[in-house]
Every structure is written in C-alpha cells, then in structure tokens.
Amino acid sequence: MVASVLEVSHVFCCPNRVRGALSWSSGPGGLLAFGTSCSVVLYDPWKRVVITNLNGHTARVNCVQWICKQDGSPSTDLVSGGSDNQVIHWEIENNQLLKSVYLQGHEGPVYAVHAVYQRRASDVVSHTLIVSAASDSTIRVWSKKGLEGRDLFLASCSQDCLIRIWRLYVKSTSLETQYDDNIRLKENTFTIENESVKIAFAVTLETVLAGHENWVNAVHWQPSFYKDGVLQQPVRLLSASMDKTMILWAPDEESGVWLEQVRVGEVGGNTLGFYDCQFNEDGSMIIAHAFHGALHLWKQNAANPREWTPEIVISGHFDGVQDLVWDPEGEFIITVGTDQTTRLFAPWRRKDQSQQDGDLPEGATVPALGLSNKAVFQGDIASQPSDEEELLTSTGFEYHQVAFQPSILTEPPTEDHLLQNTLWPEVQKLYGHGYEIFCVACSNSKTLLASACKAAKKEHAAIILWNTTSWKQVQNLIFHSLTVTQMAFSPDDKFLLAVSRDRTWSLWKRQDTISPELDAVFSLFAFTNKITAVHSRIIWSCDWSPDSKYFFTGSRDKKVVVWGECDSSDDSMEHSIGPCSSVLDVGGAVTAVSVCPVLNLSQRYVVAVGLECGKICLYTWRKTDQVPEINDWTHCVETSRSQSHTLAIKKLCWKNCNGKTEQNEAGGAEWLHFASCGEDHTVKMYKVNRCAL
C-alpha cells in the first residue's frame, strides 16, 4: 500500500463557549460531535482521537445534534447551526463525510437545532424532521410528517435554578375522564388539525427538580438502547449548571418521586460552571462542556454503579491560538492563545511520572487579589494545616489560600488537575515596551530573547534584546516604523531577522565580542525599503533555511520570496541582499511560513506555507543559478478541506528531528512532522512522507 503524502496525526481543540455545541451519538461506539470555531469535530472518546473535521460553516458553530436511530444503531446523520444563519445536515459513512445539505432561510444566527426520524405505517422509509431556532425570532421546520406514539416527557431548565418535567399526551374525550371527582393537575390543552382530523393534546407539569445552586444551562434524556435484543428506554435525566456540577436524576422505583442519583463536578479552579451535558449510548459515561471550553468526562464503575470516575478527554484552547513552538528536542509543543492560557502538549509515555528532587518549586498558586503567581515549595505544602486543625484554630474571618496537592501521575491529567495543579511559577517580569507584546524569539543558544510590541511609531517599534541570565536589557534595535510581526534567529545564531507591518524586513548581524562574558551586540546588516521591497502588503511571517544561507518571507500580497545568500564572514559596511528565487504566488494571503530542518531526498528545501483561508501548502525549493530564477519552486501537496483550518493560520513550526526522521517499518516511509495553529481555536499536528516530496 502506498503511503500518503500528508496526514493529520493529532488535533487539539475544545468546544465553543455556547450552549448546545455538544452532542453524543447513540449506538455502540458512538462519536462525540462538537463545534470548534467554524468546524464540527467528530471525536472518538474510546480511542481519544479526532476522527475528522466537518468544514462548511463560515461563522461560529452554535449548536450540534446527532439524529438518533430508532433501532439503536450508531447515528449517521448530524445537524448543526451556526452564526452564518445556516443549518447544515451532514451524512456520515465510515466516520467520513458522505454528503452535506445546506438549509438556508434564517435571517439571524441559529442557536438551537433538533432532529428526529419519523415513519408512518404507510411509509417504506423514515423521514427526517429538523427544527431550528434562530435570533431572527423564528422557528423553522424543514420537513414535517405525522407524529404518532405514546406520551412524551419534555424537560426544561432555566435561570431560576429549577428543572421542570412536562408530560405531553393525547387528551381523552370521554365523559368519564372529563367529569370524574379525582384531583388533577392543571392541564393546558391545544388542538392540532391535520388532514381534516382534529386531535386534542394536553400538557401537565409532572415534577419540579431542585438541586442546583445556580443557573441550569442544559438537560439531556438518556437515549434508548438495545440490551439482549430488547429496546430499552431508561427514564434518567442529566442536568448541567453554572454551579460546576452535573446531576443525574431518576424516579424512585417504589414511590415514583424524582430523586438525585449522582452528582459530579469540579471543585476549585478558575471556572464558571457547565454549559452542556450529554449521555453516551448506554448511559455508562457522561460528559460536560464547561464555560472555558473544556470537556469533563466521567465513567460509571461497573462494580459500583454509584461511583463515577473522571476520564481522559480531548483538550485545547477555547479562543484563537496565536503562536506555537516545538521544544529543541522535539518532545513537546507549547502554544499560546487569546484565551490567556499557555498549554503544553506532549505524548504520554505510559509510565509513572516521578517527582524530581532539588530546589525547584513544586508549582505555583495565585493568591486572592494577587497580580502574580507565587511559587510553592515542598516546605510550604508540608506546613499547611489539616481540615480538622483549620476548623479548630481559624476564625470565620480568616482566609487560607489552598495550594495544590502534588501527585504522581500514572495516566494523562484530567481537566481539574490541569486547572489546579499545573500552574508554572513566574520567573521574571520584563518591562520596557510601551504597548502589548506582539512577538518574541529566542536564540538557539538560549542566551538572548528578542521581543517586539504593537507600534504605530518608530520609537515604539524597536526590538529589545534581553539577557536570559540576568534578564536585563542588552540592546534596542531601532529600524522599523510599524509593528514587527515576526522575528527569527538564524540556526547558527549569527543573524536576527525581523519582518514588519511596514512591508519591509531588517537583518541584524551579531558582532564578535572580546570576551564571552560580554553580551552580544547586533548591528544592522541588510534591509529593504520602499524602493527595494518586493512585498506590497504586510509581511506576516519569516523563517530560515537550516544552513543559515537563505531566509523566506511570506506576505498578505500572496507572495513567498527567498532572500540570500547571507555570509556571516562578510565584514563590509554596506550589504545588499536581494531575492534569490522567483516570486511564488500561492493564490491566497500568506500568514505563516516554515522551513523544514531536513532536506528532501532530492536535497531541496521543504517549505510549508499557511494561508489566511486556513489551507496549508507544501513546496520544495532549490536555487537554480539561472537569471532570472525559473522552475525553482515545486508544488508538492496541500491540505484537504477536512485537514485544513477554517480560519487564518497563525503559525507553522517543523519538529526539530536533528537529522533523523521517523521510520515507518511497514511502509518504508520516512515521516517529517510539523504543527499548525490558527484563529479557529485549533492546534494540529501533521506528518509528511519525506519520500513522496
């Protein structure tokens, strides 16, 4: 079997921060569907991997709903609604998109959808009934057939912290029922006329459930399932609230009174409760969607049905991801996002993570009303009083900051653990910029840090160099007149490259110092101006070739240009570095460029280009020494619709494999890896077949 050129190996994401953006498919091995930015993600909670992305919406996905089959088999149809005023009906086959139908008609964002299969006695096949509600104050029914069946139970929740269960049934017209002396609940009746036949319905309040202490955002009935060939419909209701808890409700077998069966949730952490909740196909697992986008999964203990334990589930940013970087050894990636979080993603080695001895802090906590986090050492944890001692010695007016509890992990951490026990201690604050930081870069020797901020004037667009040992300013590099958008040190640390919103780039050369103890000094080596510039729009990205000879720039003007050669031994005062490639037009605004540290088998540079539309294109380039340069670029592959991001790509970064590549023994292919992040809240990792480039 021939290996593919480009594959998605991992996806990190989380649901949108809206109610209804989560749905669990019925049937064995059901998939979890949720909206992430403009995409619908299909996630397998058993394998803990993202199966595919359904890209079709052009704005945020607000609601997702699987259509449950009456025979209990896995769902194959999905409905979603978004802020683009559209409802999309997706047909899934073998976990891949088969067909999508766009239902247009709403004039405002769609915030709720629901769908069922219907079949009358005279029908051979079932029909799909889809109902959607939008901010245009309309409810639209996309297909309507006769409704038959038994009494219906409807659960509703609201901001009064209560859950109400309503019973909907066909009202009897017999005189015995109308004039008997039994005490009855108040009925609200209405009549529906269909094909000249009038049917009277009644709605009564079945029960009111009180148990939450804050807004109840979602309720979900356990779906029906087959057990030993018999279709079963448990009467169990799951509720999610802003009080950080989910409650499982069920009627008592003897009295019929609805009681709380199980309560799960999170304690502590900077969270604001749950938006949504779902059962799996047989009710043995429940999942919650938190305010900050995180998913919380619990599994029922088979031996003790009253016991529910947290499980591992996908995690990610809940807003745009602005930057990412691999660690130098290629073991993990670090990402930063507009959600004000920095996250570290790494493969789990499936062994105990032992603690390290030494003077390093155990972790950090943020004091009440504090602006900086505080490092916590082992002695601080040991000195904390126990619960009984605190009750006996403390007064009601005293407040004790509860620090995290260190633990040895034998499995990947849950969301609760990540929130409370993985805060890194702050080392240093660096002051010097007048506005918010826009980009940073670190030298490969880890001795210098370069930073730049948003700027509309030349004095604010200066690059500041910091010593990573003393954290003092080393130098201010002043050249650009507008925001510096990205910086990159050359692999040999001889040069620092900066690109800017002013459509120019500047190249700074490191000067040799007399003593290695002295801080490095950089001087302007080469630059472009309005006359020599090739790019006509903002330059978003730049990167170096692995041999430090050439650098690549990408701009909103759809161009990628290679510049060089850069000779670090050249000591002349005036330097002119121009394009050494033909101008590559990629067909869309370029927002990210990254060069692989390993050449392909033909000894050509491998370049990944990220576009504003979310697509990633792979090219190879080699200098041909022709004037002008022709046929130096080769297009290799680009991401498919499901592999691409749905919004602008912010950063691409290749894994540093130190001259080594992953060998696939079965296919004989060498795999190169790179990661991407974008405004669609998603971090993706790809592997590329080096032999196919």
pLDDT > 90? residue 628: no
The whole-chain average pLDDT of the chain stands at 85
Q: Tell me: the pLDDT tens digits for 240-282? A: 999 999 999 999 888 889 999 999 987 665 667 899 999 988 8
437-649: CATH superfamily: YVTN repeat-like/Quinoprotein amine dehydrogenase (2.130.10.10)
pLDDT surpasses 80 at 635: yes
Q: Distance (Å, rounded) from C-alpha 27 to C-alpha 77?
A: 13
What is residue 662's predicted lDDT score, i.e. its pLDDT? 60
* pLDDT at residue 665, as a whole number: 44
Q: Which residues are CB-neighbours of 291 under 8 A, at least 6 positions away? A: 17, 242, 271, 272, 273, 274, 275
Give 227's strand partners. 230
Q: Which amino acid is at 382?
A: A
Confidence category of residue 492, pLDDT binned at 50, 70, 90: very high
Instruction: At 405, list the tokens.
Output: 């509890």
Answer yes or no: are the C-beta atoms of 585 and 558 closer than 8 Å.
yes
Residue 104: the pLDDT is 86
Residue 221's pLDDT is: 92
Q: What is the mean pLDDT of residues 365-371?
A: 64
Cα(478)–Cα(522) distance, rounded to whole angstroms?
11
**Could you tell me the pTM of the whole model?**
0.84
What pLDDT, on the 0 to 100 scale, is given for residue 516? 66
Q: Answer whether residue 574 shows pLDDT above 80.
A: no
Instruction: For residue 565, say if its preceding peptide bond is cis, omega within 30 degrees of 0.
Output: yes
Distance between CA atoms of 646 and 652, rounded to whole angstroms? 15
Rounded to 5 degrees, what are φ and ψ at 313? -150, 165
pLDDT in tens, 644-687: 999 999 999 999 876 455 655 444 458 999 999 999 999 999 99
Q: Which residue has the higher pLDDT, 371 or 193?
A: 193
CA distances from 593 to 264, 265, 492, 612 (A): 45, 42, 19, 12
What's the CA gap between 308 and 414, in Å, rounded? Answer: 14
3-state secondary structure of 661: coil
Q: Indicate the domain borders of the chain.
A: 17-147, 150-217+224-270+283-317, 359-410, 437-649
Q: What order do you get walking across the sheet with 539-544 strand by strand?
A: 539-544, 550-555, 559-564, 584-585
CA proximity to 521, closest of 474, 480, 488: 474
User: How large is the average pLDDT for residues 373-399?
Assistant: 55
d(CA 448, CA 263): 51
Lowest mean pLDDT among 18-27, 210-219, 548-557: 18-27
Please check whether the two domains, 17-147 and 437-649, share a CATH topology. Answer: yes
Residues 454 and 473: beta-carbon distance below 8 Å: no
Query: In 3-state terms, what secondary structure has residue 391?
Result: helix
Higher pLDDT, 144 or 527: 527
The string of pLDDT tens digits covering residues 105-117 is 899 999 999 988 8
Q: What is the pLDDT of residues 576-627, one digit of tens each?
A: 899 999 999 999 999 999 999 999 989 999 999 999 999 999 999 998 877 7
Assigned token pair, 13: 């994401």
Q: What is the pLDDT of residue 391?
A: 47
HEC readout, 575-607: CCCCECCCCEECCCCEEEEEECCCCCCCCCEEE
pLDDT band at 146 (very low <50, low <70, confident <90, very high): very low
Q: What is the pLDDT of residue 212?
A: 93
What pLDDT score does 664 carry?
52
Longest Cα–Cα distance in the chain: 108
pLDDT at 234 (0 to 100): 86
The DSSP annotation for 393-450 comes to H--TT------------SSPPPHHHHHHH-PPPP-------SS-EEEEEE-TTSSEEE
532: pLDDT strictly greater than 80: yes
Name the fold adopted by 17-147. Methylamine Dehydrogenase; Chain H (2.130.10)
Residue type, position 441, single letter: A
Q: Which of 370, 371, 379, 381 is nearest to 404 (CA)?
A: 381
The answer to whether the beta carbons of residues 522 and 510 sit under 8 Å apart is yes
